[in-house]
Amino acid sequence: MVLKVVTFKADEDLVEKIDEYASILGISRSELIRMALERLILEMTKIEDRKINKEINSEVVIVI
């Protein structure tokens, strides 16, 4: 897997929290941010999947 550099701006309080939790977990700042984004994307995907499934199920017509 090739990792690309992504940069963003964050306020000092957020950076301090990122560093604090990275230190607690014994991982780098980059790894913590990567893990957080992966988790967010996974959760958003689950929400999207539920929405799609709900739309599909609402369109199902049962003919007897």
Angle 12-25/29-59 helices, nearest 10 degrees? 100
Percentage of the chain beyond pLDDT 90 is 67
Q: What is the pLDDT of residue 58?
A: 66
Contact 22, 29 (CB under 8 A): yes
Q: How confident is the model at residue 64 (pLDDT cuts 50, 70, 90)?
A: low
Structure confidence by residue, pLDDT tens digits, 22-54: 999 999 999 999 999 999 999 999 888 887 777
What global pTM score does this model have?
0.74
